[in-house]
Amino acid sequence: MNQDATAPPAGEPVAPHGGRPLPLPKSRAGRWLQRRLPIDLDALRYSSNEPVPNHLKHWWWCLGGTPAMLFAVQAVTGILLSFYYVPDPSQAYESVKRVSTIVPFGWFLRSIHRWSSNLMIAAVILHMMRVFFTGAYRKPRELNWMIGIGLLGATLFFGFTGYSLVYEQLSYWGATVAGNLTEAVPIIGPYLARLLRGGEMVGDNTLTRFFILHIGILPALITALLGAHVLLFRLHGVTEFEFESPKLRGSEEKKTFPFFPDHVMTELIVGIGLAFVLTCLAVIFPVGLAEKANPLQTPPHIKPEWYFFWTFRWLKLTGLTFAVLSIGFFGFLALAWPFVDAAIRRRRPASELSVRLGILAVCALVVLTVWEAFATH
């Protein structure tokens, strides 16, 4: 049988689709690994060394990676916490108490888990603000913005289900209010609420469903969305901006720098900083436990976690049905904003309506959140 003259010697790795032979590393161990993992190192180097715009050297362009790192922290601590958590109303609170009081380092893991979830939500909001105000959601990146909105929703729902699992008085009644809000959604609301709660009120089934959502469905969803988000981000490349500031623009000759290792190093430093901040927060402000949930006793002041303060205040200001419908509208508007914005800009190319609306939205978010924090009823 004639042998192909271009074929590599038997046993040597080849690039996919019968391409050129892969260059072998010099070290013996490297060669051993290369034969078993036939990855095209040149291609990997090419794709990872992609030049990225100079402005990425700035710290606040690292906020996209921050939630991902915090998600990883939560995955690890969450797995460890799930070893001890019992998703049953009669044992849930006690199991959390046991983690916080008896299990070695349990309080620390729980504190890290809770703080990283809070920081993740804050980081997602900051990241979205940066993307929104710089117009990075515009064509051709509309889809990635929509995935980002999905990630925000999933992250908030993640936080809500996690808080509910603790089965404190406030988390129980927070879940009850959330169930009532869901019920107020026209047509599908009652079905959706029953699906979520597993009954007419928060009870045994709710805790099991929230647990499955929290440790199975939501992590899988966030991982998938995060994968799609990063994939699209890599396919489109980093949005290029024309800054006036020479520091951000870079010199004419050097407008870019390599993604790896330069930008990855920046992200790593941010990661180390995050680990430090998280440890400090967990040690100085460890997460405690409030009163155990009592379905027979409504607390005088029901409050959700801070990231839902604005919705709670909005609900109190406008009434149940209007609040639910308007929040749904805000969510839809946020999702469809790249297309709405494009339509506006087709008519008025110089329009800065998005910036004005964004400032209004952030100010409203801040005012409603702080208002609810101070409110006693």
Partner 1 sequence: MTLDQKRMIVAALSFLFLGSLLVVAWVEGGKERIHPKPRPVVGADSAKCLQCHEQKTPVIAAQWTDSRHAQLGVGCYECHRADEKEPDAFQHEGKWIATIVSPADCGACHQDIAREFQHSHHSQAAQFIGSLDNVLGEVIEGRLAAVNGCWQCHGSTVAFAKEKDGTVRKDKTGKPMLDPTTWPNTGIGRVNLDGSRGACSACHSRHAFSRAMARQPEVCGKCHMGPDHPQIEIYEESKHGIAFRTRLAEMNLSSESWVLGVDYTAAPTCATCHMSATRNQPVTHDVGARISWTLRPVISRKLDEWEKKREAMKDVCANCHAPDFIAAFYTSFDATVEMWNSKFAVPAQSVMDALRARHLLTPTPFDEEIEWSFYRLWHHEGRRARMGVSMQGPDYTQWHGFFEVAERFYFDFLPKAREAGRGDPQVTRALKAVLDSPEHAWLKGMSPEDRARIDAFYRERYGAETVK
Q: Which residues of this chain interact with partner 1, rule CB under 8 A?
A: 60, 97, 100-102, 104, 107, 122, 125-126, 129-130, 133-135, 241-245, 248, 285-291, 306, 309, 352, 355, 358-359, 362-363, 365-366, 369-370, 373-374
| Residue 13 vs 358, nearer CB to partner 1 | 358
| Residue 136 vs 222, nearer CB to partner 1 | 136
Helix (H, G, I), strand (E, B) or coil at 292: strand
Residue 265 CB contacts under 8 Å (≥ 6 apart), including other chains: none
Residue 256's DSSP bridge partners are 53
CB 210 within 8 A of CB 199: no
Q: How far is the CB of 244 from partner 1 (least distance, A)?
A: 5
Q: How far is the CB of 312 from partner 1 (least distance, A)?
A: 12
Counting Cβ atoms within 10 Å, is residue 132 exposed (0-12), middle (13-18) or buried (19+)? buried
Q: How far is the CB of 149 from partner 1 (least distance, A)?
A: 18
Helix (H, G, I), strand (E, B) or coil at 376: coil
Q: How far is the CB of 352 from partner 1 (least distance, A)?
A: 5
| Residue 22 vs 165, nearer CB to partner 1 | 165
Q: How far is the CB of 58 from partner 1 (least distance, A)?
A: 9
Q: How far is the CB of 102 from partner 1 (least distance, A)?
A: 6
CB 197 within 8 A of CB 323: no
Rounded to whole angstroms, how far apart are CA atoms 314 and 309? 8
| Residue 148 vs 219, nearer CB to partner 1 | 148
The Cα-based distances of 60 to 14, 68, 130, 131, 266 in angstroms read: 41, 15, 8, 11, 11
| Residue 159 vs 219, nearer CB to partner 1 | 159
**Any idea what the Cα angle at residue 274 is, between residues 170 and 335, rounded to 5°?**
65
- Residue for token pair 């271009």: 6
* DSSP β-ladder status, 256-258 and 51-53: antiparallel
| Residue 42 vs 291, nearer CB to partner 1 | 291
